[in-house]
Amino acid sequence: MTTLPGYRSNRIVELMREPAERRGPDWLQDSLQQAVLLELATLPPYLCAMWSIQDEGDEVATALERVVFDEMSHLGLAGNLLTTIGGFPQLAHASTAPVYPGPLPGGVRPGLVVSLSGLSRESAELFSRIEEPDDPLVNAVSPGTSIGAFYTAILDAFRAHADLITGQRQLVRSMASHGAGNDIVAITSLNDAAKAIDVIKEQGEGTTASPENPFHEADGELAHYYVFREIYHGRKLVKVSEDPPRWDFTGDPIPLPATRHMATVPPGGWAASGAIVPDSDAQQRLTAGNQTYSRLLSLLEQAWKTDAATTASQLLGKAVGAMFGLQGPAQWLMEHPLPDGSGMTYGPEFRFVETPVP
């Protein structure tokens, strides 16, 4: 990969315009770098929504937790798809790290602005627009290139260039407790690549025949798009017709859980807004959270760069530890009221800052 298109570039749209006969090794590496950024971009907004729920045992909290672990697995698989063909994910850079509020990377879902806030009907609507398939079984809401269509193009390129697969620099981690397809596995063959892409697509979008997640943790678990539509509608998705098969949100109610009232993070972070200046305690946690997040990205990048499997595993373990270390400070911020009397609270910024990896 000779260039590093910025996070706000239109690169995925440009890549999708390339004719199939021109989708060679460089195209595949470039596309997989963008795929990694896509997977990374979903995690901060989903985490903020999940952490804002007061009762961690709530049905909606459990559903969001499953989605988050799926997305972590997708990030790992996308990185392995890139390294197996000789590239490596570039994450720890101000130009590539997600910026909130902002677009999805590469021009996917043009006009969509992804922001960080607590869970609400509005945030569930936003999440469903991120995950929407090209032809959902119910409730189409968004135009433009879907994530699933992009991965289909990537798989086609793998099939045309299976000789590129080397199995090098693969991160491996067992996540089977979070679902049948959630292990981060080595990509050593075309079959491995195809299965990984199937997991990413079908956990997010379901299949053309069913809204269920075929790589599930629990029976009846829905793909991400339909999970978020259920939260938005406040009703279970149920099958209302067998012939033709048809589903609708007419099942049991799904109450929106009690949440911490995290406001939407403004452009540039809380301190940049001018009207909302964090006090010293809040700023300390915001700074620490941004540093931990940035360290996490650096650890992941270094894990995929090293040829030593033991070192890679250690770096991955540290990255996972950093991720779990974000929750406490984030929820402290979500309990800390803004000084404007709105009744809303702060929340994590997930901003990249230059920070060394110890």
Residues 6+ positions from 266 with CB-CB distance below 8 Å: 101, 272, 273, 276
Lowest mean pLDDT among 42-46, 48-52, 104-108, 331-335: 104-108
Of the candidates 244, 245, 246, 247, which has an alpha carbon nearest to the alpha carbon of residue 236?
247
- The string of pLDDT tens digits covering residues 103-157 is 998 888 888 999 999 999 999 999 999 998 765 556 555 445 678 889 999 999 9
Provide, rounded to the nearest whole percent, the portion of the chain with pLDDT above 70: 91
Q: What is the 3-state secondary structure (H, E, C) of 242-253?
A: ECCEEEECCCCE
Position 2 scores a pLDDT of: 42
Q: What is the longest distance spanned by two Cα atoms in the chain?
A: 61
DSSP string, 225-276: HHHHHHHHHTB--EEEEETTEEEES-SSB-PPPPB--BPPPPTT-TGGGSS-
Pairing of strands 245-248, 238-242: antiparallel
**How high does pLDDT run on average in the chain?**
90
- The string of pLDDT tens digits covering residues 324-356 is 999 999 999 999 999 988 999 999 999 999 865
- 152 by DSSP, 3-state: which? helix
Distance CA 303, CA 90 (A): 11
- pLDDT at 179 exceeding the cut of 70: no
Position 1 scores a pLDDT of: 41
- 353 by DSSP, 3-state: which? coil
Q: What is the mean pLDDT of residues 281-306?
A: 96
**How is residue 189 written in tokens?**
């063959």
